[in-house]
Amino acid sequence: MKIRKFQGKSFKEVLEVVKKEMGPDAVILSSSSKKEPLSNNSYIEVTAAIDNGTDSVEDALGNRLQSQFDLGVFKEIERLKAEVSLLRESVIKLFPCLDDLSKRGLYNFLIKNSVEPYLALMLIEKANDMNELRMAIERDLKICKNNFDEERGFVFYGLPGVGKTTTIFKLGQILRANNQKFIILSLDSRISSVAYVKEMALKLKCETKFVNEPGELYKIMHKEIDRKKILVDTPGDANISIAGEIRDILKDMPVKKCLVMDASMATQSNIRVLKTMDTASVDCIGFSKIDLAQNYGSLYNLSVLSGKPVSFITSGAYGEPQARVFPPYTIPNLIIGGVCET
């Protein structure tokens, strides 16, 4: 297949030249009207092809289109390469540590474990290897001074389905195993929740009471706080709107207001919870469903971003015979090692 371009003042004129030089079997592939840059005179440009015994006209057209496509893709790839190089240079200027291959490896490791990029950059500024990275995470991590079973009680907040009631069951199992007395109070009056809490109390062999409004909560807690540990379940809603009211009512009560967060949820989903609720009403955070989490960087993210200490981590579903409650200092091991002792 032979392809040539021809130019002339009119299409008829160019067509005559095409027939003269390429013969009557020539095929017109394209034609366009153009202007000379200096004189601004118009002219016609025609691209023609003739079968020379090797390719068909269709093949020639296909080859031409493929060539144009390849050229366009090539130019786009070159443009993207240039932009990526510029971006890399800019990032390295802002964060020189990324020019160090070992630190870049630590950064990629943290990103794969879902640590937020800006938090990962701050961590690798403090660490040169995995051991130093573990220590940096430990220093940044906020942890409650007391173990969960040393607290006088908890009020649990969280979105619907995050695992507040199941968390109470797991903590209750451990308290029962340690021969500690406790009572479960529930502010959730839904029929399904009432049945769930009653069943849970029977399994844990503990007392339970249902509170119709937050105002009643103080009276019951004031009566029980010196005799038993108190675990309070609250109804879940998108804004956790009850937290501020309970903070004011229980301001003199020695119980922790704990936000339960689903460890298997994406960091951004949990951050939205922090943005929509009054975090001043919360003393600490706890994590549920660690067994369902794909990675553990979000535990570090939320500890840092919430500004709240972590009290506990729970694993497993309701009704399992053995409680799974882990102390917060296992978080660095989860992130670096990626496993949780069961």
Q: Fill in the amino acid letter for 152.
A: R
**pLDDT at 103 > cutoff 90:** no
Is residue 338 scored above 60 in pLDDT? no
Residue 342 banded pLDDT, cuts 50, 70, 90: very low
Crossing angle between the packed helical segments 297-306 and 117-124, to the nearest 10 degrees: 90
For the beta carbon of residue 259, count every other beta carbon within 10 angstroms.
28
Range from 16-20, 32-36, 104-108, 203-207 carrying the lowest mean pLDDT: 32-36
Structural domains in the chain, sorted by start: 2-68 (no CATH), 95-140 (no CATH), 144-337 (3.40.50.300)
Over residues 125-184, the pLDDT tens digits come to: 889 899 999 999 999 999 999 999 999 999 999 988 899 999 999 999 999 999 999 999
Whole-number Å distance between alpha carbons of 148 and 171: 8
- The reported pTM is 0.70
The pLDDT tens digits of the residues spanning 106-122 come to 999 999 999 999 999 99
Residue 288 has pLDDT above 60, yes or no: yes
Nearest-10 crossing angle of helices 267-276, 297-306: 20
User: What is the pLDDT, as a whole number, of residue 332?
Assistant: 94
Per-residue model confidence (pLDDT) at position 68: 58
